[in-house]
């Protein structure tokens, strides 16, 4: 075999291997919980919010919102409303998430408020068929063994605890899978949020999860107590009066007639 033929065979082998590798992306399917580095202290609650490069008008919107809810401590979650992106991905209240991976779609379920994201890998929706949502519209592709997801069509959300944004926000997440020395699977998402209406520069954040085999995602009914309270109120309203008023004779009706 001459040198040219040998190179051709080698090139063909490499291309074939590349195609085979590209055809089999890593499998993210499973239950994932927030990852903490070995020896890292437990997370702390509270503290002032992160200083963000917000534009003046956006800063005022955020300040106004935070002043509004400060006395009561109200949050969307307290009103049984899902967090929305990027909070649903970055925090999800510390609850686990489940990923179900298909060839053309990944379904991500965040346990808190049972928020669901669909990450489409094919059949992108037409622009005219989309509308703004708290979690937006997510479309992704595989870049080697990394999943790159772009999320658009977000509603303006000043109620995001960490990264409030406008309806012009675009979020790009890059996911990759690795394993610790002990074999623990760790999923990392590197996020970049760009929002020319709210921010003077892109916002970057990293979130890590570890796979939790053997646990299940729990239901998260949130409005059930409010519904039960409402039913109780209806029962109270519809209770017959203890001493119903005596019926008067119908008009025009004569006694003994």
Q: Which residues bind other proteins (CB under 8 A)?
A: 42-46, 70-75, 77-80, 83, 91-95, 111-113, 161, 218, 220-222, 224-226, 229
179 vs 226 by CB, closer to other proteins: 226
6 vs 184 by CB, closer to other proteins: 184
Per residue, the 3-state secondary structure of 20-85, as one string, reads: HHHHCCCCCCEEEEECCCCCCCCCCCCCCCCCCCECHHHHHHHHHHHHHHCCCCCCCHHHCCCCCC
Rounded distance, CA 89 to CA 91, Å? 6
Assess contact for 83 and 167: CB atoms under 8 A. Answer: no
Q: How far is the CB of 44 from other proteins (least distance, A)?
A: 7
Q: How far is the CB of 183 from other proteins (least distance, A)?
A: 22
Q: How far is the CB of 76 from other proteins (least distance, A)?
A: 9
CA neighbor of 165 nearest in space, from 110, 220, 89, 71: 89
Q: How far is the CB of 70 from other proteins (least distance, A)?
A: 8
Assess contact for 217 and 31: CB atoms under 8 A. Answer: yes
Q: How far is the CB of 75 from other proteins (least distance, A)?
A: 6
Residue 203: count of CB within 10 angstroms of its CB: 21
82 vs 140 by CB, closer to other proteins: 82
22 vs 226 by CB, closer to other proteins: 226
36 vs 118 by CB, closer to other proteins: 36
């Amino acid at each position: 075999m001459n040198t040219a033929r040998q190179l051709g065979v080698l090139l063909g082998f490499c291309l074939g291997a590349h195609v085979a590798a590209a055809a089999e992306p890593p499998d993210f399917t499973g239950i994932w919980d927030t990852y903490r580095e070995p020896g890292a202290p437990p997370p702390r609650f509270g503290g002032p919010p992160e200083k963000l490069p917000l534009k003046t008008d956006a800063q005022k919107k955020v300040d106004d919102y935070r002043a509004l809810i400060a006395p009561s401590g109200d949050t969307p979650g307290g009103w049984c409303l899902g967090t929305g992106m990027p909070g649903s991905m970055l925090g999800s209240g510390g609850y686990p998430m489940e990923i179900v991976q298909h060839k053309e779609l990944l379904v991500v379920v965040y346990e808190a408020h049972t928020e669901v994201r669909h990450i489409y890998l094919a059949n992108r929706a037409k622009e005219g068929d989309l509308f703004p949502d708290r979690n937006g519209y997510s479309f992704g592709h595989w870049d080697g063994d990394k999943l790159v997801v772009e999320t658009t069509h977000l509603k303006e959300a000043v109620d995001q605890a960490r990264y409030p944004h406008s309806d012009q926000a675009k979020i790009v997440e890059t996911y990759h899978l690795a394993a610790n020395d002990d074999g623990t699977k760790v999923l990392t998402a590197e996020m970049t949020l760009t929002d020319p209406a709210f921010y003077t520069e892109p916002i970057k954040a990293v979130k890590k999860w570890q796979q939790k085999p053997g646990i299940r995602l729990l239901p998260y009914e949130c409005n059930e107590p409010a519904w039960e309270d409402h039913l109780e109120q209806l029962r109270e309203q519809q209770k017959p009066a203890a001493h119903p008023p005596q019926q008067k004779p119908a008009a025009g009706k004569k006694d003994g007639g």
